[in-house]
Structures are given as C-alpha cells and as structure tokens.
Amino acid sequence: MYRYSGCRWPFPHRLTGDGHDKLMSALEILPEGKRSPIVPWTQEEKDALVVMYKKNLRYAFMAEVLDRSVDSVRKEIVFLHRDGLLKQRPNIQSVLFKKRNEYIKRHFLIRGVDYCVRHLGLAKSTIEVYAEKLGLTKVA
C-alpha cells in the first residue's frame, strides 16, 4: 500500500501509488490554512505548570494533567523562562558526574577498582581514567 523510496517521513513527493492518492485525498478534506484555535494559557494553568516543573515531572505527564499538547507545554515553559518565572532545571548529567566523582573519591583508594566497577557499572579502565583525573593513585 504505502511504499517509501528512501525517505524517513511519508512526504507526498516520496509516496508512490495509492499511498500518494490517499494522502492527497486526506489533505483535500482539511481547508487550506485551517488550524486549530490557539487557546491562551490561564494563570491557574501557568501556576500548576510551574509547580510541576519544579518537581521535575516529565513534559508528557504535565501535558496530560493540563490537557494540552506536549509542544504547547514546552513552548509555555520557554516563555516562563524568558519572563524569569522559572529557573532552568539542573543538568542531570552534571549531577550524575558529581555523584560519580564523589563515589570514586570515597571508595577507590580504600576498596579498590573492582568495588567501584561493581557498584558504578563502568569499565575498569574508565574508572581508572576518572581516578587519574581526580589525582588518585592505584592501590597496589
């Protein structure tokens, strides 16, 4: 039915046969330039969004609770950042990086590399590189 000629998304110029016909007939149903109306955000919705954002909830969950699309939630969060009502969430990678380094500092010299490998789930060579960057030397 649908045949794609090397395209990731079903663009009309890439569809062949009846797939192209079905797509074109579906596009004819919608009037030209007709979009769903933009519903402005109420202050209550913005307050709820701020509270949920500060709790580090997923965007999809926030969208479901507020009965909005995920894209509209993301856009509103950008506007709230711009207006100074929200601060950026901490970067989860930097938080994990700090925790990992603290763990290596605490356990590398006392318990050794194998202990860190078991508990961090990283390769032995990786932990040795991190320990070297932290200025720690191997236990003999």
pLDDT in tens, 3-15: 445 555 555 455 5
Query: What number is the average pLDDT over the span 99-112?
Result: 91
Return the SS3 of 19: helix
Mean pLDDT of 31-59: 79
The ranges assigned to domains in the chain are 1-35, 43-83, 92-133
Over its C-alpha atoms, the chain yields an Rg (Å, rounded) of 26
Helical pair 92-111 and 113-120, crossing angle rounded to 10 deg: 150
Spell out where 70-132 has E strands: none
In the predicted model, what is the mean pLDDT of the chain?
A: 78
What CA–CA distance (Å, rounded) separates 47 from 68?
A: 15
Q: Give the containing element (helix H, strand E) for 22.
A: helix 18-29
